[in-house]
Amino acid sequence: MIRLILGGARSGKSYYAEQLAKNSTKKVIYIATGRAGDEEMQQRICLHQQRRPSEWLTLEEPIKLASVLKTYAQKQNCLLVDCLTLWLNNSLFTQAGELQEMIFKQQKKELLTCLTDLKAEVIFVSNEVGCGIVPMNEMSRRFVDEAGRLHQQLAQRCDQVVLVTAGLAQVLK
């Protein structure tokens, strides 16, 4: 089963996904896509680390997500990817904030293509960023647009899609 868990910032989506992984009875492999570029992000990462059971294997991969998924996609595993919007940012932009179109297109293609061959249970967590105002600058608009496109393409391929709002899960598919 492949699931997509969507929600806004601090909506409870990661906690919900972690509970699904705990209840899976499979070996959980947590795939972290975030980079600790500043102190505030480091604090967010620490909160997630403290919440995870110690027996979970944690892998950090900011860009080559499809490669990690393929490597660990055995039937006995539950792969929890947190989060796709950080992966999207890492794939779409360099750390200096410059667009890296070719890398993004290749990584996205590899991700979408690999989904059909995965034997593991997979849980993707992603921020729903398209429900607010249209951003004022081009780079932010591009990010919101790409996140929306990615969510649509993943939702078509996923067995289940859940929107988490205020800690409440709403099954969309």
* pLDDT given for residue 130 in this prediction: 85
pTM of the shown model: 0.92
42 or 19: whose pLDDT is higher?
A: 19
Q: What is the mean predicted confidence (pLDDT) over 2-15?
A: 95
Q: How many whole angstroms separate alpha carbon 8 and alpha carbon 30?
A: 20
Q: What is the mean predicted confidence (pLDDT) over 131-145?
A: 88
Q: In what order do the strands lie in the sheet containing 168-171?
A: 57-60, 27-32, 77-82, 121-127, 2-7, 160-165, 168-171
| Dihedral over alpha carbons 47, 51, 54, 59 (to 10 degrees) | -60
What are the chain's domains?
9-171 (3.40.50.300)
Q: Does 53 score more than 90 pLDDT?
A: no
151 counts as catalytic: no
Catalytic residue chosen out of the listed positions 48, 112, 115, 160: 48
pLDDT digit string, tens, across residues 14-29: 999 999 999 999 999 9
Res. 104 pLDDT band, cuts 50 70 90: very high
> Encoding tokens for residue 173?
């598919």
Place of tokens 């607010």: 132
